[in-house]
Amino acid sequence: HGLDILNISDPAQPRLVSRCKMPPFYSIGMDMWDAAVRGDYAVVGDTHNGIFVVNIADLTKPVIVARRQLAIPKGKEHPDAVGGFAMGKGVVYVAGAKTGLHVVRAPEVQPEVRYPDTPPAIPPPPEPDLPAGFQAYRPDGQVWAVAMQGDVARVACGAGGIHTVAIGDEVKGLAVQPTTGFALDVKTFEKYVHVAE
């Protein structure tokens, strides 16, 4: 939980110039970090710890000048995680993992590179180039584990829960069982499905 400033004039031997520590905070699951510099200020995103503005005018003595944690999502005990941010003129746009877009006043910061008024064209994601005879099943969440029972697969899909998938001439999703935490492993025994969250 901090910002390290390194001298990379010799890229083969980076040298620590200074370190600015944020408060310790631990919560399993989300783990997102980012830093961006504009002039004499660095903005640092530190997951549930929030967004920090650090004065780096003296690179040997960085100083935190502002901090903002996001709202606590309904039913949770910690502030929302900072998923990413962008700097505007006197504001930081912060993406909350569960609470959407936040606009945080930060008079010290300046905008990032301006884009033309026309938004960029983002093409649809390309279809996977699968070898002949292969099929793909694309669930919500990451695939962590699969347990087979005959021609049915139970798939642990992280935040996407447990998916039941028919495996045959066609790979087809049959059901989704939401989980409380991240579904990281799955096993089947007789009529039971066991999940590690």
Report the DSSP beta bridge partners of residue 100.
96
**Tens of pLDDT, residues 101-113:** 999 998 888 876 6
Q: What is the pLDDT of residues 143-172, one digit of tens each?
A: 999 999 999 999 999 999 999 999 988 899
Q: How confident is the model at residue 62 (pLDDT cuts 50, 70, 90)?
A: very high
Q: How far apart are CA 90 and CA 80, in angstroms?
A: 22
Task: Give the Cα separation of 176 and 173 in Å (integer).
Answer: 8
> Is the CB of residue 92 less than 8 Å from the CB of residue 98?
no
- pLDDT surpassing 80 at residue 184: yes
Tell me the C-alpha distance between 135 and 80, whole Å. 37
The whole model's pTM is what? 0.58
Higher pLDDT, residue 30 or 186: 186
Q: Residue 122 has what pLDDT?
A: 87
What is the model's pLDDT at position 37?
92
For every residue of 99-131, which 3-state class applies, written as one string?
A: CEEEEEECCCCCCCCCCCCCCCCCCCCCCCCCC
CA dist., res. 80 & res. 27, Å (int)? 11
